[in-house]
């Protein structure tokens, strides 16, 4: 059987945006694969949507605001050094609504210790049997309180989608706008109530490294 990515390319699909459920390997075909997420032959992670505990909305921020409480209810999501990081995405079907995918714990194993580093792989493919998906952003959790977006989270090489959302166990939400294909600096925002406050920029020369220049509080 051909790898899924090759089949999609032959069919003219955007391999970074969507995958046909009929082309996915059967559940259990890869190590760590579950009913709602898995790893394809090309090494990329897929996840299913929609996640039923997240109410879809025409306002993407309303979907973002629901993510943290739902993720923190998952196993070990708030266990600090012994915790589990989860990754997912928000996407559309072209119907005017935004949906959250189910989260995946798949990632590189990190040692338990004071480094406060966990890992999960942002999904490349979103599978929704209702239609073709268009991914708007990826999201991931950190299992510690007071844990902001790391340098690795901000590095250009780790960016797949136009936006990235990260939150800690206190549900402090940060948003990265990497602006990779423009001369604009990357931007880091923090959710404050119902607004986004810009708290830092990543100058063009620092985008490969994810170095943030903090901004003064407004």
**pLDDT score recorded for residue 217:** 81
pLDDT tens, position by position, 156-202: 999 999 999 999 999 999 999 999 999 999 999 999 999 999 999 99
pLDDT tens, position by position, 56-95: 999 999 999 999 999 999 999 999 999 999 999 999 999 9
CB neighbours of residue 42 within 10 Å: 12
Question: What kind and span of H or E run contains 191?
Answer: strand 186-192
60-84 exposure pattern, b = at least 16 Cβ within 10 A, e = fewer: beebbbbbbebbbeeeebbeeeebb
Global confidence as pTM: 0.84
**Structural domain that includes position 20:** 4-214
Which has the minimum average pLDDT: 30-39, 50-59, 74-83, 104-113?
Answer: 30-39
Distance of alpha carbon 176 from alpha carbon 162, whole angstroms: 9
CB 24 within 8 A of CB 30: no
End-to-end alpha-carbon separation of the chain, Å? 56
Give how many domains the chain has, as a whole number: 1
CB 135 within 8 A of CB 128: no
Peptide bond into 95 cis (omega under 30): no
Output 21 or 106, whichever has higher pLDDT. 106
């Amino acid at each position: 059987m051909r790898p899924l990515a090759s089949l999609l390319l032959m069919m003219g699909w955007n391999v970074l945006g969507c995958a046909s459920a009929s082309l996915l390997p059967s559940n259990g075909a890869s190590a760590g694969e579950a009913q709602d997420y898995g790893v394809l032959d090309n090494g990329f992670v897929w996840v299913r949507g929609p996640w039923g505990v997240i109410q879809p909305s025409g306002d993407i921020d309303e979907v973002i605001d629901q993510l943290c409480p739902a993720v923190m209810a998952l196993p070990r999501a708030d266990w600090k050094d012994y915790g589990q990081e989860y990754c997912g995405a928000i996407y559309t079907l072209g119907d005017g609504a935004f949906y959250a995918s189910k989260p995946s714990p798949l990632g590189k194993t990190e040692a338990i210790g004071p480094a406060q580093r966990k890992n999960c792989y942002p999904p490349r493919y979103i599978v929704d049997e209702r239609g073709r998906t268009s991914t708007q952003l990826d999201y991931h959790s950190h299992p510690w309180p007071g844990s902001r977006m790391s340098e690795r989270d901000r590095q250009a090489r780790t960016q797949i989608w136009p936006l990235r959302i990260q939150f800690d166990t206190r549900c402090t939400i940060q948003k990265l706008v990497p602006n990779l294909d423009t001369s604009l600096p990357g931007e880091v925002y923090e959710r404050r109530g119902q607004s986004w406050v810009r708290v830092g920029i990543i100058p063009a020369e620092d985008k490969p490294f994810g170095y943030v220049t903090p901004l003064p509080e407004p």
